[in-house]
Structure 1
């Protein structure tokens, strides 16, 4: 049964085995994400690190370091072929963890040729921050920087299936914009259920699904398991495309030309992936009147979020 689940979770093709690094491996998202990546047959080496600075108080960092190295030991026992190693935040630990990585989740510097998958919120601002940092170092490659917005699509398909009584895997819901609140725009008119675009409650649930989880956890946590699944799915798609598979399309928040004429430098839409990262940014397509209103609301907040990220990065540089 375990083998069947594993094969269904990820493509079985292993033409291009890769090193994948997770920065933040001891966190609520990092732990299940590391496990899911260990199950991916395309991952040959899994590098885990908790990115706490040694400048922080020792009593805060030490438990986290122990947990991070413990996660590496724990995950390494899972019976798949990939090797697992945990790295200390001290000394050259970061450089060693990232050296040769093809995919980095929750990234930092040292490997500008890797595909960088940003999970850390607020994605609408952290992706522009990362872009500015890499620009300052002269190594910015817009084709390899991704904000992970996959969870919005995962939620939309699940919520629709609950209403329609369908299998969520059969639902193809396009979600564009950003990755928080009103910047998340589900385009139900482009699905097999165009009537749902008028369902304000459903739209709100997709946009604020994260709040639902926070409330359920009584404020003691946020979406970690579902986010880990979404991050692992995005990483798998990037690896599949890197290995030469054609037609790999995922929604992701990238440096995009779609609305740059309106001052919006980054936007999430369907993106065709390839060996070099972003192969093609697909247009938003036709939307109905309700969705036009949602996009207008999205643009204002998204532009502000991006500007905050850029200002923060430039202040630090």
Structure 2
């Protein structure tokens, strides 16, 4: 029940609640990659959030323009845009930040998997992680840049190399998988998607994404179940194909990132029982070499307070989990190896 409340409280519909909570103290949130397809709508959603008092937008180009644009939105937060050689660069952008969201990177194109993005985005995330570790080591880091299964381990290895790694404050944002799973089941069952909160575990690409319908009060069978699982796992491909090579999932990902940031802010400001899915360092499959895994996580002032167990699953779901764990092991090893070979 707590998980469902957490999901509904923010983006069940922005129009219904419009972030009705008020900011209780000064909070600086930084977006690295603010000029991109995810970064721009993400910056807008964060500007609408009264818990954010200072919004810091950084990109290699375009961030000052985005900042000027969203700064006109009639909420109290101040907005500043930064480029490498403008307004103090990334150091000024990150100084004092409590939350850093990293949507930076290149988008997928038709026929491209998240892993195809690896070499380019791995380098981008590594370099941004270095700046975060040097300038705001105590901030909560929210990794959106794909492939998340590998970019979170990359970020962790960078922080470890600088002696500032805190596993409770590093998150891979997998919220979009729950958003999709909830929307897709509502279409099949003719329910209100704002009242759905399908449990999704594993990782954030393809077969590492495992929806647990058995825990969510719904049941599907046969081909309908197979089609549903495939759509949740590969929902991003629908968007890539529909955009015809012009981009990937940006608007829905921005919404999911903003929802996770809001949950983290609520927890940081003292709200209890805030639960969101997140790809974090987890003990659940460490004995199988899978250091990071996404399950429901209870959030608190210091980040991760509790990692929820998977719970009871069906035989079919267990088979999906086994596949996910096998793939995640390779994804994680790939990220760790990248940092070792490309420090």
Contact 2:38–2:251 under 8 Å retained in 1? yes
Aligned to 2:200: 175
Aligned to 1:80: 75
How big is the shift at 1:219?
1.9
**Structure 1 gap segments, 5+ residues each:** 53-64
Is 1:105 paired with 2:101?
yes
Query: Which of 220, 245, 269 is equivalent to 1:243?
Result: 269
For 1:117 and 1:42, the matched residues in 2 are separated by 17
For 2:281 and 2:266, the matched residues in 1 are separated by 21
Query: Could you say what secondary structure the match of 1:312 adopts?
Result: helix
Detail structure 1 runs of 4+ shifted over 4 Å in the superposition. Answer: 4-7
Aligned to 1:213: 239
For 1:113 and 1:7, the matched residues in 2 are separated by 33
- My pick for the range that moved more, 188-197 or 198-207, is 188-197
- Cα deviation code 1:217-264 (max 9, x no counterpart): 112210000000000000000000000000000000000001101110
For 1:196 and 1:136, the matched residues in 2 are separated by 48
For 2:79 and 2:165, the matched residues in 1 are separated by 29
How big is the shift at 1:87?
1.1
Is 1:143 paired with 2:194?
no
Q: How does 1:119-138 map to 2 (within 5 A)?
A: 119-138=144-163
Specify whether residues 236 and 265 from structure 1 end up closer, same or farther in structure 2 by C-alpha distance, changes over 3 A only: same
**Structure 2 gap segments, 5+ residues each:** 1-12, 103-127
Aligned to 1:56: none
For 1:210 and 1:244, the matched residues in 2 are separated by 34
How big is the shift at 1:172?
1.9
Query: Could you say what secondary structure the match of 2:25 adopts?
Result: coil
Query: Which of 133, 139, 150 is equivalent to 1:114?
Result: 139
Contact 1:46–1:84 under 8 Å retained in 2? yes
Aligned to 1:274: 300
TM-score by length of 2: 0.85
For 1:184 and 1:299, the matched residues in 2 are separated by 10
RMSD: 1.5
For 2:250 and 2:39, the matched residues in 1 are separated by 8
Contact 1:118–1:127 under 8 Å retained in 2? yes
Contact 1:252–1:270 under 8 Å retained in 2? yes
How big is the shift at 1:169?
1.0
For 2:72 and 2:280, the matched residues in 1 are separated by 35
Aligned to 2:3: none
Q: How does 1:44-63 map to 2 (within 5 A)?
A: 44-50=53-59, 52=60
Contact 2:210–2:324 under 8 Å retained in 1? yes
Contact 1:41–1:81 under 8 Å retained in 2? yes
Aligned to 2:256: 230
For 1:201 and 1:85, the matched residues in 2 are separated by 44
For 2:250 and 2:78, the matched residues in 1 are separated by 24
For 1:184 and 1:155, the matched residues in 2 are separated by 11
For 2:187 and 2:83, the matched residues in 1 are separated by 44
For 2:335 and 2:219, the matched residues in 1 are separated by 35
Query: Which of 168, 179, 190 is equivalent to 1:165?
Result: 190
Contact 1:16–1:242 under 8 Å retained in 2? no
Query: Could you say what secondary structure the match of 2:142 adopts?
Result: strand
For 1:157 and 1:297, the matched residues in 2 are separated by 22
Specify whether residues 155 and 9 from structure 1 end up closer, same or farther in structure 2 by C-alpha distance, changes over 3 A only: farther
Aligned to 2:280: 254
Is 1:68 paired with 2:63?
yes
How big is the shift at 1:208?
0.2
Query: Could you say what secondary structure the match of 1:249 adopts?
Result: strand
- My pick for the range that moved more, 226-235 or 15-24, is 15-24
TM-score by length of 1: 0.92
